[in-house]
Amino acid sequence: MGRKWANIVAKKTAKDANNSRVYAKFGIEIYAAAKSGDPDPHANQKLRFVIERAKTYNVPKHIIDRAIEKAKGSGDETYQELRYEGFGPNGSMVVVDALTNNVNRTAADVRAAFGKNGGNMGVSGAVSYMFDNTALFGFAGEDADEILEYLMDQEIDVRDVVAEDGQIIVYGEPEDFNSIQTALKEKGIEEFSIAEMQMIPQSEVILTGDDLEKFEKMIDVLDELEDVQQIYHNVELD
């Protein structure tokens, strides 16, 4: 799974380079999670998950707090979670998760991003079956076997634990996200380079030339949409 991890890190690094946009999107996601349930992260698992993920993107505490305070106060916007699926050039597949207060606007924007950049939007389920929903954690370390044995001792089954470039990467089942993170924290791991749910492609394609240029433009346009929260694809990155 090393190549998949490299792809995830590359996509995450690209997001980190656009701090203001990342912060704005997390502000909306935190607000929506707090508004949909208890604004106390200790009592709202969904909110706690979003905050933990935001920390791996270095979202400042004041942005997190401001979004929660807005949800507690006069904020009356409602957001809907949506998933779009589509195809890019030469066998590439894309899954787009969005959070929107205007479904028609978001659908039109996503469709245009696909259509104007060599792709086309498919129906629900068109490509997501080719991805595995995965609880993914990355943190500093070198002994993957130790972490695997520790998690097994905690009666937590994981898909894989690997060591790469000074990082230990844990791939787990989606429903075990909280138990994995809790166990790792109890072992003394406090800082995660990544702690989130990922749609990992079962296989990847390589694009070159004009196909790669169109694909990268399509992803850039999708990522610039204010309603788009996450983008997953099956294109192998350098």
**From CA 151, how far away is CA 140, in angstroms rounded?**
16
Q: Is it the case that residue 238 has pLDDT exceeding 70?
A: no
- Residue 238 is assigned to a structural domain of this protein: no
pLDDT score recorded for residue 48: 92
pLDDT, average across residues 209-219 = 94
Residues 67-102: tens digit of each pLDDT: 999 998 876 789 999 999 999 999 899 999 999 999
Identify whether residues 6 and 68 lie together within a single domain: yes
- What are the tens digits of pLDDT across the range 147-187? 999 999 999 999 999 998 889 999 999 999 999 999 999 99
| Shared domain check, 172 and 57 | no
30: left (phi over 0), alpha (psi -120 to 50) or beta: alpha
The helix/strand/coil state of 214 is: helix
The Cα diameter of the chain in Å comes to 51
For residue 26, give its domain range: 2-72
- Who's near 106: CB < 8 A, 6+ residues apart? 82, 98, 100, 225, 227, 228
Rounded to an integer, the average pLDDT of 34-38 is 89
Q: Is the pTM of this model over 0.95?
A: no
Nearest Cα to 196, choosing from 220, 219, 216, 172?
A: 172
Structural domains counted in the chain:
3
**Residue with more model confidence, 7 or 24:** 24
Same domain, 122 and 144: no
